[in-house]
Amino acid sequence: MPPRWKRAVVKLSGEALMGNQTHGLDQGTLDRIAADLAAAAKSGVEIAVVVGGGNFFRGIQGADKGIDRARADSIGMLATVMNGLALEHAIEKAGQPARALSAVPMPYVCQPYSRQAALNHLGKGRVAVLAGGTGNPFFTTDTGAALRGAELSCDVILKATQVDALTTALLSLTDRAHDLPSGLTVPAKPVSNYQPAGKAGQLMTDLNCFSCHVINGRGSDLAPELTWEGSSVQRAWLQAFLKNPGTLRPALIRRMPRFNLSDSDINELTDYILAVYQTPAFDRDSMPTSGYPAAQVEQGKQLFYSKYGCQSCHIVDTKVDKGYVGPTLTQVGSRLTAPWIYHWLKDPQSLRPGTIEPNRNMSDEDAHALTAFLMTQKGSGRQEAKKK
């Protein structure tokens, strides 16, 4: 059967290579992934793999230990080269030629990355294993994958952090009967020319909001999508954030820049975002921001810590909770609108497609109680989570 796609970029996180271990490489997992990649390449798809390094080192963790960000990210880039070399070897062992290319030149170890070299290998049926990220600190492997996808004119970018998902994705590259599982692909090209209007629109263009945020299909996904930001956040919070952005999601490597906006610019942006970037799914004022009955709040707290174990990914109490995967929720009651939280809990993917927030088909009652509990979390800025 002829391949469905001509050329694909596969983003492989370092974590996918560690199998059940806590770090490093798991030989069985590595061989299995290599065999899948080799099979996809044998079927005639040109495959470029962008490897991450999180199984050895994560820049964000280094930065937490006091290593400055640029240096921590450089260590992370070296980790991707280690994975790249291991993967190159495993793919060749699986019977398919492969070449590791590093965006950070280290000619004694492997070929430096260039578009020309990568296209040359791909054209010869070799799997191109792309290490070193973009070659610059401050950019994640996701960005590396998007960049290489565009540069190498790939038809599709596959993104899989789990091995099973990756296998499914690779197998469907060659299968005409099935579409690729949604959630495993990211669009290889920008899809819209959306332009916001008026003074706020001008500010957003001048300040390049689209270089990090997607709004109405335009922009890049380095930061959270803002298309429905107006339904999600409270006015005072948004104003304060634009003035002095703090950390919301500890796991995000990138930070929102501080633009030194004037108060009038901040008001323009806030008014515009609140008025225009609204989901049709609900009215942002349909639930109160405070005044929930104590019993309901208590019930929500129980659900948070016991039934749903939300603290595995979130922090509400900075003294005991250890969840760094999702945003810190110490101030969520001053940040988000109650209907956003409620609808988020009922069906997170309807608000942010592809988010890893688990969808639990939660009952209305549980979602209301959790919303009540979270709306009481109005901690001051000082309480922001710090990793120890």
Q: Which residues are at the interface with ligand HEC (CB under 6 A)?
A: 204, 207-209, 211-213, 222-224, 226, 229, 232-233, 238, 241, 247-249, 252, 254-257, 259, 269, 304, 308, 310, 312-314, 325-327, 332, 341, 344-345, 352, 355-358, 370, 374
Structure-token match 């579409």, residue found: 179
- Name the minimum Å distance from CB 108 to ligand HEC: 35
Q: By the 8 A CB rule, do 65 and 58 touch?
A: no
218 versus 249: smaller Cβ distance to ligand HEC: 249
- Name the minimum Å distance from CB 352 to ligand HEC: 5
78 versus 237: smaller Cβ distance to ligand HEC: 237
Please name the residues in contact with 2: beta carbons below 8 A apart, sequence gap of 6 or more.
Answer: 44, 176
126 versus 335: smaller Cβ distance to ligand HEC: 335
39 versus 248: smaller Cβ distance to ligand HEC: 248
- Name the minimum Å distance from CB 384 to ligand HEC: 10
Structure-token match 């005044």, residue found: 291
- Name the minimum Å distance from CB 64 to ligand HEC: 14
- Name the minimum Å distance from CB 196 to ligand HEC: 10
Which segments within the chain are labelled E, that is strand?
A: 7-12, 46-51, 98-102, 111-112, 127-131, 156-160, 185-186
Structure-token match 């999600």, residue found: 232
Q: CA 209, CA 70: separation in Å to the nearest integer? A: 23
75 versus 223: smaller Cβ distance to ligand HEC: 223
Q: CA 360, CA 341: separation in Å to the nearest integer? A: 14
- Name the minimum Å distance from CB 307 to ligand HEC: 8
- Name the minimum Å distance from CB 81 to ligand HEC: 26
Give the number of other CB atoms < 10 A from CB of residue 319.
Answer: 6
374 versus 385: smaller Cβ distance to ligand HEC: 374
105 versus 183: smaller Cβ distance to ligand HEC: 183
Q: By the 8 A CB rule, do 332 and 237 touch?
A: no
CA 380 to chain centre: 27
Q: Which amino acid is at 351?
A: L
93 versus 255: smaller Cβ distance to ligand HEC: 255
Q: CA 327, CA 348: separation in Å to the nearest integer? A: 14
What are the start-end ranges of the H helices in 43-103?
59-64, 69-93
93 versus 249: smaller Cβ distance to ligand HEC: 249
Please tell me the total number of residues recorded for the chain in this structure: 388
- Name the minimum Å distance from CB 226 to ligand HEC: 6
Q: Which amino acid is at 272?
A: Y
Structure-token match 């930061």, residue found: 223
Q: CA 295, CA 97: separation in Å to the nearest integer? A: 64
Q: CA 265, CA 258: separation in Å to the nearest integer? A: 13
Q: By the 8 A CB rule, do 70 and 138 touch?
A: yes
- Name the minimum Å distance from CB 142 to ligand HEC: 12
